[in-house]
Amino acid sequence: MSRQRGLALVSVLWGVAILSLIAAAMLSASVTSAHLDRNGWNAARAGSVADEAVNHAILSLLDARASRQPRVDAAPVTLAIGGVPVRLWIQDESGKINLNFAPKELLQSLFASAGLESSVAGALADRIVARRPATDGTGPRLAFRSVDELLTVPGVSGALYARIAPALTVYGKDSAINEQVAPREALRALPQMDDQAIDRLFKERDERHSAASGDQNSATSVPLGIADAVFLVTAEARVDGAHVVRVAAVQFTGDAAKPYLVLAWR
């Protein structure tokens, strides 16, 4: 009888242990499911906020009022959309070096500014120029459709690409650089620019933008989003651990019926 009672007690204890494990597993699964649902909701909200910030930036580029026009030299600003802080950058692509049209000398100077020896920089510039096809009478055919295609050029490493990518673009049809909106990486490729000159230029930009945004009575009939202008808009939103970055390349048309085209969205 004593042995039977002992076996029964052991059986009961095993049963209680098994039921406890089942209950713990169910609770853990429920908590995990709720956590995943919460993460999915946060990610969706962050994505929605980032999308709205990009659309807000596009509309601001169509605004003719000087006090409402944003900076377009990739200077970061912080917005609050639906109570969520968003970091926003707008870069006028005319301030970058165009892979499809920049002269060899400018490309060589860019590579040299990134630390390459003159002979190596010149060889890389030659390879880029050699990729450009001749025009066929219907307009230029582009050798590069995206900046990251530069990685297919022999001699361009991932480390080198990371240093020069902020200076490059494939949008537009001009080899000139608009110094008033150019990023630091592109300005360093210009022979007349050193770090002190670049710092002075950035200070002048800050002062000019502060004066324009502070003058509520100023007006202009020309928005920044003029025909053929291309801007790269980047928005970064965070919601309770969820992190979303939206990048859009937008080209303006000058057509009131369809004022802009989205060239890329990721």
The per-residue pLDDT for 221 is: 64
The per-residue pLDDT for 206 is: 93
- Break the chain down into helix, strand, coil percent, rounded to 5: 50, 15, 35
Give the pLDDT confidence of 50-77 residue by residue, as tens digits: 999 999 999 999 999 888 899 999 999 9
First to last CA, the chain: 75
Residue 55 domain-assigned (yes or no): yes
Domain residues for the domain of 126 are 98-168
Residue 38 domain-assigned (yes or no): no
- Number of structural domains (the chain) is 2
Q: Which two tokens stand for residue 198?
A: 């670049």
Residue 200 domain-assigned (yes or no): no
Do residues 109 and 149 both lie within one domain?
yes
Residue 142 domain-assigned (yes or no): yes
Q: How confident is the model at residue 127 (pLDDT cuts 50, 70, 90)?
A: very high
Do residues 110 and 66 both lie within one domain?
no
pTM of the model: 0.82
**Per-residue pLDDT at 25 exceeds 60:** no
144: domain CATH number? 1.10.150
In sequence order, the 6+-apart residues with CB closer than 8 A to the CB of 182 are 73, 95, 96
Which uninterrupted H or E stretch holds 83?
none
Gap between the Cα atoms of 42 and 46, Å rounded:
6
